[in-house]
Amino acid sequence: MSSFSSRALTTAAAALLATCLALPAFAQETRTITDDAGRSVEIPADPQRIASLQDLFFSVPLIELGVTPVGSHGRVVIEGQPFMRSSKMLTGVDFDTAPITFLGTGTEIDPEAVAAVDPDLILLSTNQDPDAFASIAPTVLLDFNRSDKFELYDRLAEITGTADALKLLETRYAQQLNQLKAQVDAPNISVNVIAAVEGQIRSYRHFAALGRLLDEAGFAMPDAVKEIEYGKFADFSPERLPELDAELILVTYRAEEGETAQDAYDLLEATIPGYCAFLKACQNGRLIAVPRDETFASSYSALGSLAYTLIALLAPVPDVRAD
């Protein structure tokens, strides 16, 4: 072979290699989905670098599905430390334990911060503008206001191609739910979930993880709560507290923000002095404080934890009273 031919082949090979290296990262297999805004969006068939702009209902499910986002929305404690709500408690993963970049809080997410993590897919919530991020990567808008939060979980598994992982989580939960049903006579036990909020008593009708578990186990509820739309909550004036009584009342507190069970009880007392006198559940030792971090998450880890909590609280115990 002549030296000219050899040089020509070398040059051609180098040009081909340069062309391959110059191909943009987004030149990969894609598919089209319809997001919750009704938009047809072309997304990577196998997204690898997801920016999640909602922590509780997007980032936590993604992590449970085995997908670690490169960046996430979150909250900030008073000391200035960012965190993803419920995530460390349920998954062990947070900004300080995994390579996830904190992108901001609420709607205050700077597109430049999102661009800096080089995402191949951006998941937005209903309070964010897809157009603000459209030049960075494909944007998918998901409605986190839907009443069944676990529908979002299904959508995330579809988008990320993790249906097999979701099936395993569902299988585990089904076994835990069966354990609860076997140990507790749920249809004959009424349960209510409340919190004192700005001078009112808020009651939740089957909201997120705890709501799904109560519903699928078949627990009863107070008549006043039946009037609340599924997956929503309603605020009641203090004088209506007796209408919210149940055989078991769960009151929530924010553990990740340093609150304790006593804080939940103190807030009830500040809202309705002597509240325990109006609730048979309280008088019977059946008003129990539980972390809001687990009850309000869309999480299969939370479902399992709550199932065993209800078994511990409500399953029959030996009668050791003396004859």
CATH for 67: 3.40.50.1980
Please check whether residues 80 and 197 belong to one and the same domain. no
**Does some domain include residue 103?**
yes
Please check whether residues 122 and 151 belong to one and the same domain. yes
Q: How far apart are the C-alpha atoms of 141 and 163, rounded to whole Å?
A: 20
Strands (E), the chain: 30-34, 40-44, 50-52, 71-73, 75-76, 82-83, 101-105, 108-109, 121-124, 139-141, 191-197, 200-204, 233-236, 248-253, 287-291
Range of the domain at 187: 167-314
**Does some domain include residue 260?**
yes
Higher pLDDT, 262 or 7: 262
Please check whether residues 219 and 255 belong to one and the same domain. yes
Q: What is the pTM of this model?
A: 0.85
**Does some domain include residue 235?**
yes
Neighbours of 18 (CB within 10 A): 9
Residues 6+ apart with CB under 8 A from 78: none
**Does some domain include residue 99?**
yes
φ, ψ of residue 194 to 5 degrees: the values are: -135, 170
Q: How far apart are the C-alpha atoms of 193 and 244, rounded to whole Å?
A: 9
Please check whether residues 201 and 250 belong to one and the same domain. yes
Please check whether residues 157 and 174 belong to one and the same domain. no
Q: How far apart are the C-alpha atoms of 9 and 133, rounded to whole Å?
A: 43
Where a domain ends, among 126, 161, 196?
161
Q: How far apart are the C-alpha atoms of 75 and 253, rounded to whole Å?
A: 16
What domain count does the chain have? 2
Q: What is the mean pLDDT of the chain?
A: 89
Please check whether residues 115 and 193 belong to one and the same domain. no
Most distant CA pair in the chain, distance: 109
Q: 208 pLDDT band (50/70/90 cuts)?
A: confident
**Does some domain include residue 13?**
no
Q: Per residue in 32-41, pLDDT tens?
A: 999 999 999 9
| Residue tagged 């971090």 (tokens) | 293
Please report the pLDDT score of residue 229 as a whole number: 87
Contact 193, 204 (CB under 8 A): yes
Angle at alpha carbon of residue 84, lines to 80 and 85, rounded to 5°: 105
Q: 144 pLDDT band (50/70/90 cuts)?
A: confident
With H, G, I as helix, E, B as strand and everything else as coil, classify residue 108.
strand
Please check whether residues 305 and 180 belong to one and the same domain. yes
Q: Per residue in 40-74, pLDDT tens?
A: 999 999 999 999 999 999 999 999 999 999 999 99
Q: 322 pLDDT band (50/70/90 cuts)?
A: low
